A and B are shown apart, each in its own frame.
Chain A
Amino acid sequence: MNFPFLTLITFIPLLGAVAVALMPGKRERELKLVAILFSVPSLVLALVAWLLCAQRAGEMQLLEEAIWIPTLNAHYRVGVDGISLPLVFLTTLLTTLSLFYSSYTIKKRVKEFFALFLLLETGMIGVFVALDLILFYIFWEVGLVPMFLLIGIWGQPQDRPQYSAIKFFLYTLVGSVAMLLAFIAIYLTTGTWNILQIPSLKPLAGNPALAIAAFWAIFLAFAIKVPSWPFHTWLPDAHTAAPTAGSVVLAGVLLKLGGYGMIRILLPFFPDLFRQFAPWIGVLALISMIYGALVSMAQWDLKRLIAYSSVSHMGFFMLGLVAAAASLDVANPVLNNRAIALNGAVLQMFNHGIITGGLFFLVGVIYERTHTRDLKAFGGLSAKMPIYYGVMLMTALASLGLPGLAGFISEFMVFRGAFALIPTYAIIGIVAIVLGAAYILWKIIQHVFLGEFSEERWQKIFNPAHWHFSLDMARFEVVTMAPLLFFMVLVGVYPAPVLNVINAATTLLLAGL
């Protein structure tokens, strides 16, 4: 495979960012067009890459390697396998949709917005494809900065965007610098940054204390990003403050960086430590699941509610991961408990990206019209906006894990694995599912769509002068949501296409541990 797929996928958006930055700021229409056009090739290539790799998704593919800093033995080394492929695709998809959506909704400082967004895409994709710790770290931080600005500049004024932005920045930075130290320590003992090679070299094997420190340092970085309780408090603020597209990518992709890191780095590097500490991490996962669900149940701000639901859903992911890591269960190879759990975890990331991304788009839909997210302000909208009702209902149901839609599959596999490997945790975790149904139906559906539609309340919040599209979901909004809905159904009804690649990779990964 000589064709540099991944390099192109990763860096075309960067070119786009530069191009947009160099264009005259007045020509907003062209700016938007160029930005979107630059995000499309990555999407297409990602899809092609997926199809190419679907066959042997187990091992790393589309590998590209070039010596980068010889003295440090650092390489430009990228590649994808079944774990990263869906996430790369997810990233490109959500970015393109976000850009498309934003081209209708972003009014101020357009040029900067689109440039930053493309830069952000490069950073995110880079993390998923990087196979060299330094490269990984660099992309990790590259993704951090644009999001910081997106939140700070385009956040809604009433949500203290600057505070949220710096909070997001600091939290992530705390984690990543700790991670950097750990990476250096690993490099100094193994002499390489190669993510694929390090596991076989048993990093820090000689120095248990340092190994444990490194483990927790790396875990901290990823747990903050995931985010796991108690490192989650940046998330509601960031999501609430960010502009719609920002929230979408934040929830859809940035949270996955942490999860991906845990699977790609933490688990293979320190399988034994992970097993040793799995009980504690499992407890964190459980708390995240239940606590997140409870807190969303108490929310009256639609966006905040969904933000907290992300905490809960990423808790599911962590539960699956913990289940896969908790045991060396080879007793019954037929059952593949660990593989199923890990599949569930990875798929949960993918699904959460699709679903919660969609939910944030839908929040944007109502917010753009009414400029409020207060659940008490709505009611009876299903009579006024039937299409919106339908789409939101479907997405919400997917989020609460209704069979036939995406969310269910991953939840099922996660719990399936958990029940086999860590039953106690699974039994406790079940509560989160009920709560999920509670906050989604009770808070979102009931308060927004059901009940009495009152014209005067609506007049208070909706000003036709500020909204130039149809009252019910406008065409561009439907177009934005359509692909997401498609994937919700596809994965929900026939998950094999996605799961095949994931499964191949996870089984290989687990076999390697």
Chain B
Amino acid sequence: MTIEYATQIFAFIILTLMTLGGGLAVVTSRNLFHAALSLILSLAGAMGYYVLLDAGFLAVVQLLIYIGAISILILFSIMLTRGLMVPGQVQRNEQWWIAALVVFLTFVVMVVALWQTVWPIAGEEALRAPNVAIGQLGAALVGPYAIPFEVISVLLLVALVGAIVLAREVENHSASADVETGE
């Protein structure tokens, strides 16, 4: 058991605490804003995982898109809809305990299944040296993964246009202006 192993294990524990703890906070905290913040914490944990798993580029993506974009978006929309977010208001619906039970059982079952499985772990040297350069990833995205790459770009376009169409503040007089109602 070398020192690096020890650090890895230590890091793993820390990150796990971040991720799961953050996750728990996300689903339990009474204040939605705090929930969103702890989401960021949890995401950061995940990012750490990626680093630990030698997927540096992915970690960067996580940081930029997830933490950088999505979480912020969420925070904004929370503030947008904060109007009636009276703090201290109950954030759980009445079925939460059933949910908890079911989810826990599912987790147990899954864990059993996961530990039952014998994994086709790759060979030692492969494990030791996962040589994936960023360049390769870029090449892959415009190479074999070009089609999905194009598609996702279109998808993002659609999503953004749609978001604008639905969420854009419309001044109602113009709304009634150009909708000749059928009724």
Touch between chains A and B, by CB atoms below 8 Å:
no
| Chain A interface (Cβ < 8 Å from any Cβ of B) | none
Interface residues of B (CB under 8 A from A): none
